[in-house]
Amino acid sequence: MNKRLIKDLQKALGQEGVLWRPEELLLYEYDASVERALPDAVVFPRTTQDVVRLVRLANQYEVPIVGRGAGTGLSGGALAPQGGLLVVFSRMKRILEIDLANLRAGVEPGVVNLDLTRAVEDRGYYFAPDPSSQKACTLGGNVAENAGGPHTLAYGVTTNHVLGLELVLPTGELVEVGGKTFDTPGYDLTGLLVGSEGTLAIVTKIIVRLCRLPEAVKTLLGIFETVDDATETVADLTARGITPAACEMLDQFCLGAVEAATHAGFPLDAAAVLLIEVEGLREAVEVQADQVEEVCRAHRAREVRRARSEVEREKLWAGRKNAFGAMGRLAPNYYVQDGVIPRTKLPQTLRAVIEIGARHGFQVGNIFHAGDGNLHPMILFDARDREQFARVVAASNEMMKFCVQMGGSITGEHGVGMEKQEMMPLLFSDDDLDAMARVKQVFNPTGRLNPAKMFPLSKSCGELRVRPLPQRAGA
């Protein structure tokens, strides 16, 4: 790293705002994906003007610059594959405004997702998007990846709850898009920027909409003897026009891991369970809960439990939201995927996922947003074994190809990042990718902002390139 740049960074942020020694950078070479990339320096802005200074310094020294929230991302989006500056927003974590009369809030990008709900729930409000990592993930990262979550089945993903953004462009210019209204005139630049994975601008303020807490909530656990019965239940709920607030599925392998770690009350002998939640007006919720139970029993559910208290409900959701951590107890590593399929294709897709995993020699567990058709197969492996890493990537690629063949997508909420950029031609033509690249060129003409993300690095649209095992620093 250029010593003059380090001195200029320290001048801008103070010595406590800059990390540059190799041993200090190790924490920031990874996120929650299997990728690795070491930045040249890590910087901690406290204000929007700090971010402006950092972008201008990156331009002056011609180095890449990458934004990062809590590092909980699953696609390598918050890593620095070409070195440069990693801008960590953990010190920009203020809730700037709460306007309950208009159901709005303004926040800095480092605000933790759940902290926003905690700030307003005692007055009867909450922020609807709820990623499983909501206790740790930040709203800036949610905006970058257009994060989802269990309850986005009914309420939509992050983009449906973001109304405006304050941005620092790659030139260092500060701009605002959108606002507090639902639909500002002109092009929907807010919609364009949410989910752009930090490749177009760096977000420094977010205007979100808040929701009222529902009058009543019912949480049901449908217990099934076969995976097909559980998945067919999901398709039938949709066919009957029943839209729960959430509809999550766990298979038997994951149930064992989750129950051992969290003691949430899941059955260990079921092939699969559906965790279904309905909410709204008290009378409507009772009717909808009965309808959900009827559909579950029509598809041979051996039992349908209803949470009898808020404590029991919270235990069930704690089991679901801590599932990834529970799976981490079973192997040195797991590779979690993020494919999307039509709900009617769930049975054959899950069979294919298990078959692909077994053929490549891996145990696969499935915990996912069944109502959205958003799959999260988790492949257990040992990343220290280079041959295993190559096989796990090949298996993952095959699963994503199958999702596309079923009429789905390679990502529902984790983003493309470094992980899936070579899969983009599975979904998009060369003309499609060229059009996206031209949009990126308008905002980020030098390509220094979050480089080597989203777009394929190779030109071939044939066989997917199997990336090598990431090297740790000093390896």
Question: Domain check: are 302 and 222 in the same one?
Answer: yes
Residue 462 has pLDDT above 80, yes or no: no
Question: Domain check: are 340 and 424 in the same one?
Answer: yes
Q: Please tell me the predicted confidence (pLDDT) of residue 28.
A: 97
Residue 464 has pLDDT above 80, yes or no: no
Q: Please tell me the predicted confidence (pLDDT) of residue 113.
A: 98
Question: Domain check: are 221 and 322 in the same one?
Answer: yes
Question: Domain check: are 391 and 429 in the same one?
Answer: yes
pLDDT bucket at 461, cuts 50 / 70 / 90: very low
| Number of domains within the chain | 4
Mean pLDDT over the full length of the chain: 94
Q: Please tell me the predicted confidence (pLDDT) of residue 183.
A: 83
Domain-located, residue 448: no
Question: Domain check: are 231 and 208 in the same one?
Answer: no
Between residues 455 and 462, the one the model is more confident about: 455
* Domain encompassing residue 208: 95-212
pLDDT digits (tens, 9 = 90+) for 400-453: 999 999 999 999 999 999 999 999 999 999 999 999 999 999 999 999 999 999
Residue 271 has pLDDT above 60, yes or no: yes
Domain end call among 212, 234, 260 = 212
CATH number of the domain within which 266 lies: 3.30.70.2190
Residue 285 has pLDDT above 90, yes or no: yes
Sheet of strand 377-381: strand arrangement: 303-306, 216-224, 272-280, 246-251, 364-368, 377-381, 333-336
Least confident window among 59-73, 194-208, 385-399, 448-462:
448-462
Domain end call among 326, 358, 374 = 326
Domain-located, residue 460: no
Q: Beta-carbon neighbour count of residue 447 at 10 Å?
A: 15
Question: Domain check: are 194 and 127 in the same one?
Answer: yes
Question: Domain check: are 249 and 296 in the same one?
Answer: yes
CATH number of the domain within which 116 lies: 3.30.465.10
Question: Domain check: are 108 and 50 in the same one?
Answer: no
Question: Domain check: are 341 and 271 in the same one?
Answer: no
Domain-located, residue 473: no
Question: Domain check: are 253 and 304 in the same one?
Answer: yes
Question: Domain check: are 125 and 194 in the same one?
Answer: yes
pLDDT digits (tens, 9 = 90+) for 354-384: 999 999 999 999 999 999 999 999 999 999 9
- Rounded CA-CA distance 198/202 in Å is 6
Q: Please tell me the predicted confidence (pLDDT) of residue 468.
A: 54
Number of Cα atoms under 13 Å in the Cβ half of residue 397: 20
Q: Please tell me the predicted confidence (pLDDT) of residue 463.
A: 44
Residues in the chain: 475
Q: Please tell me the predicted confidence (pLDDT) of residue 182.
A: 84
Domain-located, residue 127: yes
Q: Please tell me the predicted confidence (pLDDT) of residue 458.
A: 74
Number of Cα atoms under 13 Å in the Cβ half of residue 258: 27
pLDDT bucket at 471, cuts 50 / 70 / 90: low
CATH number of the domain within which 12 lies: 3.30.43.10
Q: Please tell me the predicted confidence (pLDDT) of residue 470.
A: 59
Question: Domain check: are 19 and 101 in the same one?
Answer: no
pLDDT digits (tens, 9 = 90+) for 140-175: 999 999 999 999 899 999 999 999 999 999 999 999
Domain-located, residue 149: yes
pLDDT digits (tens, 9 = 90+) for 192-205: 999 999 999 999 99
Q: Please tell me the predicted confidence (pLDDT) of residue 467.
A: 54
Domain-located, residue 456: no
Domain-located, residue 452: no
Q: Please tell me the predicted confidence (pLDDT) of residue 211.
A: 97
CATH number of the domain within which 427 lies: 3.30.70.2740
Domain-located, residue 449: no
Mean pLDDT of 327-343: 94
pLDDT digits (tens, 9 = 90+) for 85-98: 999 999 999 999 99
Mean pLDDT of 37-63: 98
3-class SS letters over the chain: CCHHHHHHHHHHHCHHHEECCHHHHHHHCCCCCCCCCCCCEEECCCCHHHHHHHHHHHHHHCCCEEEECCCCCCCCCCCCCCCCEEEECCCCCCEEEEEHHHCEEEECCCCEHHHHHHHHHHHCEECCCCCCCCCCCEHHHHHHHCCCCCCHHHHCCHHHHEEEEEEECCCCCEEEEECCCCCCCCCCHHHHHCCCCCCCCEEEEEEEECEECCCEEEEEEEEECCHHHHHHHHHHHHHCCCCCCEEEEEEHHHHHHHHHHHCCCCCCCCCEEEEEEEEECHHHHHHHHHHHHHHHHHCCCCEEEECCCHHHHHHHHHHHHCHHHHHCCCCCEEEECCCECCHHHHHHHHHHHHHHHHHCCCCEEEEEEHHHCECCEEEEECCCCHHHHHHHHHHHHHHHHHHHHCCCECCCCCCCCCCCHHHHHHHCCHHHHHHHHHHHHHHCCCCCECCCCCCCCCCCCCCCCCCCCCCCCCC
Residue owning tokens 């190790």? 26
Domain end call among 88, 111, 131 = 88
